[in-house]
Amino acid sequence: MIEPADATPAAKLDDAGTSTDRARPPTLTEMSHNAGSVRSMTRPSAPGASTRALPAVDGTEPLIWARGLVKRFGDFVAVDQVDFDIEKGESFGFLGPNGAGKTSTMKMISCMSPLSGGTLRVLGMDPAADGPKIRSRIGLVPQEDSLDLELTVMDNLMVYGRYFDLPKKVIRERANRLLEFAQLTERANDRVDPLSGGMKRRLTIARSLISEPDLLILDEPTTGLDPQARHLLWDRLYRLKQQGVTLVITTHYMDEAEQLCDRLVVMDKGTFAAHGTPRQLIDQYSTKEVVELRFGADEHENIAPKLDGLAERIEVLPDRILLYATDGDETLSEVHRRGFTPVSALVRRSTLEDVFLRLTGRTLVD
């Protein structure tokens, strides 16, 4: 059977034992104290964060409001005092490498895991006090599919819909529409087990929509999918956004973040290294173009110093040298004029991968 612990209204906290002392709902005084503190409000890492000490109660409250959010596992700090606001109708991304703290953050937002510190409001409610109510209004696509492999595609939707106390007739109508949306109508009566990874992912997304949520949380929706399946999913997510659904997405694919996210944070080691729209981040942290040069094995460290002055910034990676420049073609011509003959050369536009490299000194997908 489907695990109720998978984001259903009946879900239980996955690690309620780890931080029970910090999981209690903050009092109003604590909330205003924490959220209004100088540390929280003046740190530069509050993406789109308002300077309000508490979210407004006039209907303009962000859909998700976090201040000084912390997740600890024992002594280890997985999420380290992050601040963010996510507005209704936007598509907000958490971009970061393995272990950055993305899933830990998603689990707190989706009330699957208690906070270890800070303040969080979701849909105007407090996850510690209103977890079931919040869960009943969000759709969750967890990082790992948790479908019932023995049941049919249709029955997975039927069973899931019942967690939301929906009448069978309503669930069936929605399920038919969602299977169409996920291009799985032909497989409605097949068992889930033999479906491909992409089909299972699409079914998980369809399942998360059975309650017609206003807020959809997607933890790495396309990891492991082939390019065609990824593009199909992007298209489906884009359509949901057009319908006014707020999307919160984690990914370590920069192209996915560029395609899907209005705003995003670059997350690394539990904190936000930067935030903004994809365009702003690229403008702020990279140059317009990048020249990628590949020389012979082990030559990059030797050659890089000789390229000094050719670009605004040079990054040396084990397999390539990156020259950051405004005019990539001109820079590449200069490389050739200086007598260098790379095995291969490519001029491209900057991406979020370059932003990540600049901010952390590491590539996003190792």
Ligand X SMILES: Nc1ncnc2c1ncn2[C@@H]1O[C@H](COP(=O)(O)OP(=O)(O)OP(=O)(O)O)[C@@H](O)[C@H]1O
**Contacting positions for ligand X (CB under 6 A):** 15, 73, 76, 78, 96, 98-104, 143, 252
Q: How far is the CB of 26 from ligand X (least distance, A)?
A: 22
Chosen from ligand X, Mg ion, none, partner binding at 98 (C-beta under 5 to 8 Å by type): ligand X
Cβ closest to ligand X, residue 108 vs residue 355: 108
What is the per-residue burial (b if ≥16 Cβ within 10 Å, else e) of 231-266?
ebbbebbeebbeeebbbbbbbbbbebbbbbbbbbbb
Q: Does 103 bind Mg ion (CB under 5 A)?
A: yes
Chosen from ligand X, Mg ion, none, partner binding at 99 (C-beta under 5 to 8 Å by type): ligand X
Chosen from Mg ion, ligand X, none, partner binding at 15 (C-beta under 5 to 8 Å by type): ligand X
Chosen from Mg ion, ligand X, none, partner binding at 113 (C-beta under 5 to 8 Å by type): none
Q: How far is the CB of 73 from Mg ion (least distance, A)?
A: 14
Q: Does 222 bind Mg ion (CB under 5 A)?
A: no
Q: How far is the CB of 221 from ligand X (least distance, A)?
A: 12
Chosen from ligand X, Mg ion, none, partner binding at 104 (C-beta under 5 to 8 Å by type): ligand X
Asked whether the beta carbons of 323 and 314 are under 8 A apart, the reply is yes
Number of residues that bind Mg ion (CB under 5 A): 3
C-alpha of 163 from chain center: 26
For residues 190 and 198, give the distance between their C-alpha atoms in angstroms, rounded to a whole number: 15
Asked whether the beta carbons of 249 and 64 are under 8 A apart, the reply is no
Asked whether the beta carbons of 171 and 210 are under 8 A apart, the reply is yes
Task: Measure Cα distances from 2 to 147, 152, 158, 266 in Å.
Answer: 6, 12, 11, 33
Cβ closest to ligand X, residue 115 vs residue 290: 115
Cβ closest to ligand X, residue 4 vs residue 99: 99
- Residues 124-143 close enough to bind Mg ion by CB under 5 A: 143
217 contact partners, CB below 8 Å, separation of at least 6:
106, 109, 110, 138, 139, 140, 141, 248
